[in-house]
Structure 1
């Protein structure tokens, strides 16, 4: 039997039914009696990389505005949550209900300006929250997160302002988050010019090591350059990963255009001098804007 296609008008209980069905499917895949041999071999570590891959496929669908593929990609990402929850349940750690409850309670804490009904609270609200201007909400959100982090520090569950930034994040994104956390406790330049100056300082330090030719020192100093650039992006409210993805896409378009120009002449890049390639590159930049 084919399940009914989801629509924007599906009722909440329909979503609950499908989540229950998905959780049951995952449990059967992991059932030693009649389950899937491949799924039975998996561990939290072996399937973790798939969550990262699926998250990027979700991002790709959004950027391409492929709304037909979007729900399918979200489903793949949701499967990773259900999968990890099933493994944790088998290990006696937690289950899918725990995951849903914890994120719901966290969102309630972080939205004190919203009056949630009994379907969320499990009871009637004790009071009506006052409206908060939209422009004040990001600061309120960060303040509430900071309160939660301080509570973890007090309880001995966290190491301080930088604790909780996942080491496995893409490095530029991790750098921006680290810089943001540091800034929230006052470790930041008073204005963006200080960050720009820091970028130039790090480039100068890299140049010194470049002239010496010490690869280990070059790696260290180039890392500082990249970190300072990620800090600058954060200060300008830009996503450094998005900036670099945009640069990669732009480079790819221009590179392929140069290849195409040469191919129409029966030529290839390997055959042409760098001066000619640079001229073609500048032509493409002018054409594409």
Structure 2
């Protein structure tokens, strides 16, 4: 065993090199951890997703210590994957760093390739449009036309997956020109869902419900709304309203047999007014 590697693992003054050494030590074929040694990219792929969700949760709760901890957990997973890739695929940690830096520089010409004669500052919307155009340019010539959506991860949550698919399709002009057209499509899908629900055929209902959701995601994209964030906001609002409604029921000691649909609706409207008043 290389003693210098243990020295690096315990050295708090060498930054990212300490983490790299830690992973190398854990995966040392002779003296490492049996579990860490036997892992490959596929066996630990889901941990990146888990850690990213835990980081997002900490950010939403605005817990500073948790954010720091979860960033560390996610970084550990990334360095672990880099170590596996270095041993299995022949590219190094440094290759990964250089590649992502080159990519980000290329995708930010308004920062790194400014021209003196350039006029007014670029807007955020222009940055986003240019980003998609540059990504499309990067893939041009290398993308298989028979598998146009190959780069869209199948593991994305459904709303994000739909959004990504729509953005990719829009690069080839498969897109609506304005939100009003999509609103017309949504009305059409609502009618089709209503008809399917009347038929009581589950497969048809599920299909039409999916079409409606897909159209709603399209509308969100055109309105520059993230559907995941929008839905999370509605979930948060619903949870708060339910919580406040339960408080009223418990405070007023309303028995279950008195909680009719009408009474529950009355409490719900009371809570909506109360929360709106508190927010104003």
How does the TM-score come out when normalised to structure 2?
A: 0.84
Report the alpha carbon displacement of residue 111 of structure 1 after superposing the two structures with TM: 2.4
Preserved CA contact (<8 Å) 2:110 2:122: no
Which residue of 2 is the match for residue 201 of structure 1?
188
SS for the counterpart of 1:86 is: helix
Report the alpha carbon displacement of residue 140 of structure 1 after superposing the two structures with TM: 2.3
Which residue of 1 is the match for residue 176 of structure 2?
189
Segments of structure 2 that go 5 or more residues without pairing to the other structure are 1-9
CA distance 1:84–1:270, shift in 2 (3 Å): farther
Which residue of 2 is the match for residue 73 of structure 1?
70
Q: CA RMSD in A?
A: 2.4
Distance in 1 of aligned mates of 2:12 and 2:49: 28
CA distance 1:134–1:56, shift in 2 (3 Å): farther
Which residue of 1 is the match for residue 268 of structure 2?
281
Distance in 2 of aligned mates of 1:44 and 1:258: 47
Q: 1:7-33 deviations in whole A, cap 9, x for unaligned? A: xxxxxxxxxx32121111111112233
Report the alpha carbon displacement of residue 269 of structure 1 after superposing the two structures with TM: 6.2
Greater Cα offset, 130-139 or 50-59 = 130-139
Q: Does 1:165 align with 2:155?
A: no
Preserved CA contact (<8 Å) 1:269 1:277: no
Q: Does 1:111 align with 2:108?
A: yes
Report the alpha carbon displacement of residue 270 of structure 1 after superposing the two structures with TM: 8.5
How do 1:1-289 residues align onto structure 2 when only pairs under 5 Å count? 3=12, 17-115=14-112, 129-130=114-115, 133-135=121-123, 136-153=126-143, 156=144, 159-160=147-148, 162-267=149-254, 272-289=259-276
Distance in 1 of aligned mates of 2:38 and 2:255: 48
Preserved CA contact (<8 Å) 2:220 2:226: yes
* Count, aligned residues: 262
Report the alpha carbon displacement of residue 260 of structure 1 after superposing the two structures with TM: 1.7
Segments of structure 1 that go 5 or more residues without pairing to the other structure are 5-16, 116-127
